[in-house]
Amino acid sequence: MLMGDTGIGADPGADDRAEHVPVMLDRIVELLAPALQEPGAVLVDGTLGLGGHAEAMLTALPGLRLVGIDRDTSALRRSRARLAPFAGRTEFAHAEYDALPRVLDDLGIGEVRGVLLDLGVSSPQLDEAERGFAYSYDAPLDMRMDRTQELTAADVVNGYSAAELTRVLRVYGEERFAARIAQALVRERAAGRIDSTRRLAELVREAIPAATRRTGGNPAKRTFQALRIEVNAELGILERTLPAAIDRLAVGGRIAVLSYHSLEDRMTKRAFAELATDRTPPGLPVPLPGSEPELRLLTRGAEAPTEEENERNPRAASARLRAAERLRRH
């Protein structure tokens, strides 16, 4: 669903700058800007959120054209208000970011010069208690980034089998007590539906051995992460998006990905490394045509925020940034 000037309405009373601190902002501008200097260059922000990164890029590059995608209609409404000064250079789409090729096709855009993916849950989603993302608030067990979809965290907790819950918690939350937590949830829901974030956090805490509860922060953290990933199909979407986004990059175009947990970062690392490798068979004196790397890595491993940024914005602490440049077509 594309949105021009008559799409999602702006909220002129919203002032999101004070509450939204874009993660690793200066470094992302530094990495992407060299590919976006030509007038009319297109940057796709696949996870637009409140538009902090997009605003910085549009300000720094007066000839830049932005395509902003987000699955959260509330975020799109607020980012559209924030980016109103750049009207004429912006397009908005309500979609999951794996729809990037379709969105570009609908706009008549072939190749782009930049792609930004800032993964994970946004600050507004965490701060709006009714969204059900945070264990620090008592709220309905929701966790949908796109509130037009049907599946909620409550549906997962109350509808999945013990084996399915165990898989979700173990794979997406890297929770070593996944089976114990799943069994506890199945027992509890037999007496009545589990519908609140507070009750879920209490059940997780009770299911984990007492000695483990005393270290490592809130014991519900991994369960909430796992349920959020499952509800929003985050890893499947990322797995589809990375090759599709790279495929739409022009030669010389750049992609930057901000991850917030190891599962996302490993997936990004693999996707970049595969295309940054010379596939000439060992022992040949020169690279075979068509076997040269398609990408050049712009970061040495995954870059982390500075200590200063972590102090200023504690939510940045888990962020890891990887970036790459397109060297050639297939």
14-27 per-position pLDDT tens digit: 344 435 679 999 99
Q: What gap in Å lies between CA 269 and CA 241, rounded to an integer?
A: 14
**What is the pLDDT confidence band of residue 289, given thresholds at 50, 70 and 90?**
confident
pLDDT reported for residue 213: 77
Which residues are part of a known binding site?
51-53, 70, 97, 118, 125
Give me the mean pLDDT over the 28-45 stretch: 97
Residue labelled with tokens 């959260």: 72
CA distances from 73 to 12, 96, 98, 119, 229 (A): 16, 11, 16, 17, 19
pLDDT tens for 61-91 read 999 999 999 998 888 999 999 999 999 999 9
Q: In 16-100, which ranges are E strands?
A: 42-45, 65-70, 90-94
Task: Check residues 43 and 6 and name the one with the higher pLDDT.
Answer: 43
Domain extents in the chain: 2-118+234-326, 132-232
Q: Does domain 2-118+234-326 have CATH number 1.10.1200.10?
A: no
Q: Both tokens of residue 111?
A: 């190749």
Q: What gap in Å lies between CA 295 and CA 79, rounded to an integer?
A: 31
Whole-model pTM over 0.85: yes
> DSSP labels for 286-307?
SPPTT-S-SEEE-SSS-B---H
Q: Are strands 320-326 and 295-297 parallel, antiparallel or unpaired?
A: antiparallel
Q: Is a pLDDT exceeding 80 seen at residue 116?
A: yes
**What is the pLDDT confidence band of residue 273, given thresholds at 50, 70 and 90?**
very high
Question: Could you tell me which of 155, 172, 144 has the C-alpha nearest to residue 75?
Answer: 144
Helices 162-173 and 178-189: crossing angle in degrees, nearest 10, is 140
- Residue pair 66/116 in contact (Cβ under 8 Å)? The answer is no
Cα dihedral 180, 120, 264, 52 in deg (nearest 10)? -160
CATH architecture of 132-232: Orthogonal Bundle (1.10)
Q: Both tokens of residue 268?
A: 């990004």
Which residues are part of a known binding site for S-adenosyl-L-methionine?
51-53, 70, 97, 118, 125
Q: Both tokens of residue 141?
A: 């067990």
pLDDT tens for 252-267 read 999 999 999 999 999 9
- List Cβ neighbours of 89 (8 Å cut-off, separation of 6 or more): 58, 64, 65, 66
pLDDT tens for 139-165 read 999 999 888 899 999 999 999 999 999
pLDDT reported for residue 13: 33
pLDDT reported for residue 123: 62
Q: Is a pLDDT exceeding 90 seen at residue 301?
A: yes
